[in-house]
Amino acid sequence: MKRAGVLLLLAGGAALQAEGPQKLRLSLREAVEMASAPGGAARAELAREAARAAEARKRQALAPLLPNVDGSYTFRSFTNNLASFGIQFPAVPGIAFPVFVGPIDVQDARAAASLSVFDVAAIRRWQAAKAQARAAAEDREEALLKTRAAAAKAYLNAVRAEAALEAARANVALAERLLKLAESQKAAGTGTGIEVTRASAVLEQERQKMILAQEDREAARLGLLRAMNADLGAEVELTDRMVYAPAEIPPPEKALEAARELRPALKAQASREQAARLAASAAKWERAPAARAFGDYGVIGRTGSVYLPTRTAGVQVTVPLWDGGRRDARRAEAQAQERAEEILEGMEQERAEDLRELLIHPEETAGGLMTTAYLSLPPEVSVEAAISRLKLEAPNLDIIDYIFIVDQAGILQGVVSIRDLLTAHSQQTLGEIQPARLVSVKLNEDQHEVVEAFVKYGFRALPVVDEEGHLKGVIGFRSVLDVLAPEAR
């Protein structure tokens, strides 16, 4: 029912677009449903297709373990020359022995069946395919969650942009009234020209801010339409508004336990690791003998004559001997994949440790505002290598404006900005180009002191260190905006 409603909403939007540029009224719930519905965001669609492909591979892996039944009909017309078989008849006066036999027409109709009796490798392959299908299903859920989160974030960003534009328009209206008041006071002799000039300058500044707010709103609108995979030319009217509601943060251990139980990505990784182990086991068992039962039943005879029933039944045992090294290669590949999945599982544990590090700090401190998704490098790394590393890891980073320089003990030595990197020589080291000034905040520093540091120094990010100077995280400017947002309301 929900899916039908989303499709009707999409169809209604398409009809409105065909008639002309009209507004599409959207609530937050409708935007999220449009993004995650079939035909919505590409990420969710690709995950759905990947899950279908995994289910198909699971059925393919099960097929060798099920009975295989075939029916066949054969018509054969043949001739034979007995001399070709070395058959020669002695010459007998008055008797001619035939040398050429045929043509003979034979028809054969039968049913054949076979069944795997013992094949551990096939069983392991089927189990591995089942685990891969579970992983694909969890990946699909993860993609849907990310798609919904992206759509919700885009919607709230659009709401914020509209609110900022309304505030900018109100500021322009206020500045215009103040300018008129200054002009009236000057005309009445109670004001000065400098006050009119100051009011005119303020009005121009507010108009510039309003233009920027209009551009931000347009960018937010396009971002929302992209998140829903909708027509970028559509006009959108947002029906929901931002309401601040403080959320209760659970204890770290409960939060980690809930993440392990509920996050589809962790379940998918566990299923992939299990699939890799089973695939390695399947490659190992390919060296073992396999048994297959087979049989057939049918009738055969010459065309126009009596058809006689015949049957075949038996068991075939296959013992692998030598296949040119293909089995060994498959086994090595499966073992490498298993090790790769174990490494990825270890990375998930590292992420859990990062989450634990973040959750142990109160929300109102610098430790509660920081992120651990940043790039830190030793001072001897060259500028060229640092830029290459930043390009490689940028998709997984929250902070990409700076590279943080740490020594072998993890103590913060300096901070290099993107501007510093682009203006430096490629062979210089980070230690050579780092600025002399180093600004950081402590883990337990109050969030309002962090805001004051951002205002004072104008940085887009600030490193967070412990009492010994070890780099523990980085606070981005957006986190500071989140602190200021409730007060602004």
Minimum mean pLDDT range among 147-156, 228-237, 302-311, 344-353: 344-353
Q: What number is the average pLDDT over the span 74-80?
A: 90
Q: What number is the average pLDDT over the span 194-200?
A: 90
The pLDDT value recorded for residue 9 is 47
Band the pLDDT of 10: cuts 50, 70, 90: very low
Letter for the amino acid at 253? E
The first and second tokens of residue 83, run together, are 């001399």
- Of all residues in the chain, the percent with pLDDT exceeding 70 is 90
Tally DSSP H helices, then E strands, for the chain: 14, 12
The pLDDT value recorded for residue 233 is 83
Residue 347 has pLDDT above 80, yes or no: no
In this structure, are residues 416 and 433 in contact, taking their beta carbons and an 8 Å threshold?
yes
Q: What number is the average pLDDT over the span 265-289?
A: 87
| Neighbour tally for 265: CB within 10 Å | 17
In this structure, are residues 377 and 430 in contact, taking their beta carbons and an 8 Å threshold?
yes
Q: What number is the average pLDDT over the span 267-292?
A: 88
Give 435's strand partners: none
Collapse the DSSP code of 108 into the 3-class scheme (helix H, G, I; strand E, B; otherwise coil) and give the result: strand
> How far apart are the C-alpha atoms of 23 and 235, rounded to whole Å?
5
Between residues 411 and 42, the one the model is more confident about? 411
User: Residue 17: phi, psi to the nearest 5?
Assistant: -65, -35
Q: What number is the average pLDDT over the span 464-473?
A: 90
The first and second tokens of residue 237, run together, are 């009217």
Residue 254 has pLDDT above 70, yes or no: yes
Least Cα distance to 287 among 319, 317, 315, 316 occurs for: 319
The first and second tokens of residue 197, run together, are 């000039």
> How far apart are the C-alpha atoms of 321 and 318, rounded to whole Å?
9
| Neighbour tally for 7: CB within 10 Å | 15
Residue 245 has pLDDT above 90, yes or no: no
Chain segment 103-122, per-residue pLDDT in tens: 889 999 999 999 999 999 99
Q: What share of the chain is helix, strand, coil (3-state, %, to 5)?
A: 55, 20, 25
Collapse the DSSP code of 452 into the 3-class scheme (helix H, G, I; strand E, B; otherwise coil) and give the result: helix
Q: Would you list the domain boundaries of the chain?
A: 252-284+325-355, 361-488
Between residues 485 and 455, the one the model is more confident about? 455
The pLDDT value recorded for residue 18 is 44
Average pLDDT, the chain: 84
Residue 307 DSSP symbol: -
Q: Provide the CATH number for the domain formed by 361-488 in this structure.
A: 3.10.580.10
> How far apart are the C-alpha atoms of 384 and 369, rounded to whole Å?
31
- Cβ-proximal residues to 109 (8 Å cutoff; 6+ apart), any chain: 72, 73, 74, 298, 299, 300, 307
- Cβ-proximal residues to 242 (8 Å cutoff; 6+ apart), any chain: 156, 159, 160, 163
Band the pLDDT of 92: cuts 50, 70, 90: confident
Q: What number is the average pLDDT over the span 58-62?
A: 93
> How far apart are the C-alpha atoms of 481 and 3, rounded to whole Å?
36
In this structure, are residues 30 and 9 in contact, taking their beta carbons and an 8 Å threshold?
yes
Residue 17 has pLDDT above 50, yes or no: no
The pLDDT value recorded for residue 11 is 46
Q: What number is the average pLDDT over the span 9-17?
A: 45
Chain segment 430-462, per-residue pLDDT in tens: 999 988 888 999 988 888 888 888 888 888 899
